Amino acid sequence: MPSRPSSRPSRPTTGTDQGTRLSKASCRPSVECLESILSSRSQTERLGHVIGSLLTGGEVLALIGSLGAGKTALVRGIAAGLDVPPESVSSPTFVLAHEYHGRVPLVHIDLYRLRTGAEAESIGLNDYLDGSIVVAIEWADRFPEWLPADRLEVQLAHRTPTTRSALVTAQGSRSSLLLTRIVRAWQVVRHTPVSRKPARPAGRKAPVR
Ligand SMILES: Nc1ncnc2c1ncn2[C@@H]1O[C@H](COP(=O)(O)OP(=O)(O)OP(=O)(O)O)[C@@H](O)[C@H]1O
Ligand SMILES: [Mg+2]
């Protein structure tokens, strides 16, 4: 499993690595969800692409999973699905938030380094969550109390060095509808190559507030 840069601060004390404070990591017959084995990084990006291509603006994607589980890879695919060049997407580990301007605006946030709710507030997390911007949040389980009631949760876990498991669940009616569409689309495209769209100008980094 890849390790975080040594300059990273020690782990925050809030939240968990596996997202157990959010939804339970299993599909139940009565609740729609998507469970899939992602056989490579490009397959993780492909799932992200499916999710991104179905976003209409303002959705919140809570990404949960341990170090190197593939959260940033998934966001790279989400960005591609929003017509943001995937190569412009990098981990917002030190900047904390990146903004991208695709078909609809996307903000990519990493809460790993944050220790307190006040720090989360200082990066403008609440402002981003006003419903006008797609917000993809790595380490979302650090601050579950900050998450809106309506959100898509993606839990990623290591299986082997090159495979990951993904569990996608929805909280709230808007995300449930989105999940239904994702499940349908994933069944169709999971074994087909992602078609790359023409590159657009790279996203810009958001100022740290
Ligand atoms: N099936 C897979 N899906 C995603 N990444 C994979 C997969 N197999 C191997 N990898 C590798 O695992 C790493 C995932 O890195 P990534 O930055 O996406 O993880 P992360 O969850 O964002 O980690 P962090 O918590 O440090 O931000 C990459 O080096 C990638 O090449
Ligand atoms: Mg990451």
> Does ligand 1 lie within 6 Å of residue 136's CB atom?
no
19 falls within a domain = no
Instruction: For the sheet with 105-110, list strands across it.
Output: 34-38, 164-171, 151-158, 60-64, 134-138, 105-110, 97-101
Higher pLDDT, 1 or 76: 76
Residue 23 is predicted with a pLDDT of 59
Strands 134-138 and 34-38: unpaired
What is the distance in A from the centroid of ligand 1 to the CA of 44? 9
> Does ligand 1 lie within 6 Å of residue 155's CB atom?
no
33 falls within a domain = no
Quote the DSSP letter at residue 71.
Answer: H
Alpha helices in 82-192 (DSSP H): 117-122, 125-128, 173-189
C-alpha span between 55 and 175 (Å, rounded): 10
C-alpha span between 110 and 108 (Å, rounded): 7
Higher pLDDT, 91 or 128: 128
20 falls within a domain = no
Which stretch of 33-47, 88-102, 140-154 has the lowest confidence by average pLDDT?
88-102
78 falls within a domain = yes
Class of residue 100 by CB neighbours under 10 A (exposed 0-12, middle 13-18, buried 19+): buried
Nearest CA to ligand 1 atom 23: 68
Our count of domains for the chain comes to 1
The percent of residues above 90 in pLDDT, for the chain, comes to 59
Q: Is the pLDDT of residue 200 over 80?
A: no
21 falls within a domain = no
> Does ligand 1 lie within 6 Å of residue 69's CB atom?
yes
CATH of the domain at 162: 3.40.50.300
Residue 120 belongs to what domain range? 41-189
Which residue type is seen at 141?
Answer: D
What is the distance in A from the centroid of ligand 2 to the CA of 111? 10
What is the distance in A from the centroid of ligand 2 to the CA of 139? 8
> What number of other Cβ atoms are within 10 A of residue 203's Cβ?
22
pLDDT tens digits, 76-87: 999 999 999 877
158 falls within a domain = yes
Q: Is the pLDDT of residue 17 over 80?
A: no
> Does ligand 1 lie within 6 Å of residue 71's CB atom?
yes
63 falls within a domain = yes
65 falls within a domain = yes
Residue 67 is predicted with a pLDDT of 96
